[in-house]
Amino acid sequence: MFERKERRVATAIITGGSAGLGLLFAEALAERGLDLILIARDKARLKQVCRDLAERHHVAVEPIAIDLADPDNAEIIAKVISKTKDLLYLINNAGFATHFRAGDGGERIRRLQRNAVNVMALNTLLFSSAAVRPMVKAGQGHIVNIASTAAWTYTGNYSAIKSYVLTYTQSLALELEGTGATATAVCPAWMHTNFHSVAGLAEPAIPEWLYVRPEQAVSETLRAVRRGKSLVVPTRRWRLIIWCLTHGPRAWRRQFTKAYLRTKNYRR
C-alpha cells in the first residue's frame, strides 16, 4: 500500500509527520494530491497514519520510522531527501519541548538537551542542505522549517534553537532567490497539540486568545509558501506581538519572557 509508484507526482517529505502540526501538513498536502514520505519515531502510529492518508486521499504514502536524535539516522534521512524524485516540499517539523531550569543536571537532561539540538537545529541544516540541490536543479521546491515565536524570547535552549532555525532559514531564503526554490521559516505560538504532553508538561496557563489553531497555522503557512514568503507568523495578533518585540525596547522581551515563565510548567 505504501510503495511509491513510478509516476510524475510531486512528493512532500515531512519529519514529525505522525501527529500534531506535521500530521496536519500531511493532510493538507495529500488533499492536493501530493505523495508523502512521513518520518517519525512511533512505528505503530506512523503506519496507521500512512494507511489512513493513503486510503482517504489515494496518494502514495511511505512511512520511515526512525529516531532523528541519532546523527547516523539523520544521515540516512538526508540521503533519502537528496534522492527523492520530484521533491516539492520538505517540512522540517520534528521537535519537542525542552523546558528545564538553568542548572538542572544529570546525564538524562544533558542527553535530552543534546537531542534537542540534533533534532531541531542540526537536522534542519542537514535536511535543508540535502534538499537544495534537487530543488534548484528542478527550478522549484519549498523548504519549510518550523521555528517558533520563542525565537523572540529568552526561554533557554529551546529559544536558542528556534532562533537558529529562524536565522538559518532567512539566510537560506536569500541564497535561493532566483532559483525557483524557496525557504520559509514558520513561527507559530502556543497551539493545542500533543507537543506539551509528549514532553511531560501541562499546557501553559495563559489566556486562550494567545493560542493559535494548528489548522490556521498550516493554512497560513501553505498560502505564504505559494507566495514565496520567507517568514510566517500565524495570526494577526501574533504578528503584532512579534512586531512589538522586534521594534520595541529589548526590555519588552525580558518582561514578556518573565510573564510567561510565571506560568511555565517544567518537566515532571
Q: Which cell numbers hold the place of 90?
A: 520538505
Contacts for 27 with CB less than 8 Å, ≥ 6 apart: 53
pLDDT value at 196 more than 80: no
Please, which pLDDT band fits residue 98 given cuts at 50, 70 and 90?
Answer: confident
Most confident of 100-104, 135-139, 152-156: 135-139
Grid coordinates of 160:
536558542
Distance CA 83, CA 252 (A): 45
Residue 207 pLDDT class (50, 70, 90 cuts):
confident
- DSSP 8-state assignment for residue 120: I
Q: Pull the grid cell for residue 180.
A: 525557483
To the question of pTM greater than 0.75 for the whole model, the response is yes
Query: Hey, what's the cell of 126?
Result: 542537514
* 155 close to 148: Cβ distance less than 8 angstroms: no
Mean pLDDT of all residues in 171-192: 97
Largest CA distance in the chain: 56
| Residue in 150, 142, 146 with CA at minimum distance from that of residue 34 | 142
pLDDT > 70? residue 20: yes
Alpha helices in 90-178 (DSSP H): 107-116, 123-138, 156-176
Q: Which residue has the higher pLDDT, 202 or 140?
A: 140
* Least confident range of 126-135, 200-209, 242-251: 200-209
Return the pLDDT at 195. 56
Q: What is the C-alpha separation between 81 and 85, in angstroms, rounded?
A: 9
Mean pLDDT within 190-205: 62
All domains in the chain, ordered by first residue? 11-261 (3.40.50.720)
Interaxial angle between packed helices 236-247 and 250-261, expressed in degrees from 0 to 180 and rounded to the nearest 10: 130
Closest to 233 (Cα-Cα) out of 200, 198, 185:
185
CA neighbor of 146 nearest in space, from 90, 89, 187, 87: 187
pLDDT score of 2 more than 50: no
Instruction: Name residue 234's amino acid.
Output: P
Mean pLDDT computed over every residue of the chain = 90
- Give 41-72 pLDDT, tens digit per residue: 999 999 999 999 999 999 999 999 999 999 99
